[in-house]
């Protein structure tokens, strides 16, 4: 099984830091302990459609993490983290 890694674009990391500490932990732990450990990040995510088709979304409570799966380097790159009302804007 190939080992995936988790990375954050600077903007996504800043969005994560603005959230309450318990929400930050919940999102980070979900990505680290479930998505990365699964060995196949596509199992838990949902592919987006339309002009966002190259992205996937992870639903973590009321928050969404928008990611790009970089298959050639086995990296889950978080590009946006926000409340579900705001994330697709």
| CA end-to-end distance (rounded Å), the chain | 36
Mean pLDDT of the chain, nearest integer: 95
Confidence band of 1 (pLDDT split at 50, 70, 90): low
Residue 89 clears pLDDT 90, i.e. is over it: no
| C-alpha distances in Å from residue 79, one per residue of 1, 2, 29 | 25, 22, 17
Average pLDDT over residues 77-89: 93
pLDDT (tens digit per residue) in 4-36: 999 999 999 999 999 999 999 999 999 999 999
The full set of domains in the chain, from first to last, is: 5-83 (3.30.2310.20)
């Amino acid at each position: 099984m190939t080992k995936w890694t988790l990375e954050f674009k600077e903007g996504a990391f800043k969005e994560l830091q603005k959230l309450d500490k318990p929400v930050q932990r919940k999102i980070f732990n979900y990505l680290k302990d479930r998505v990365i450990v699964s060995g196949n990040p596509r199992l838990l995510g949902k592919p987006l459609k339309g002009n966002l088709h190259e992205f996937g979304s992870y639903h973590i409570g009321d928050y969404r993490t928008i990611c790009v799966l970089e298959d050639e380097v086995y990296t889950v790159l978080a590009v946006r983290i926000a409340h579900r009302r705001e994330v697709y804007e």
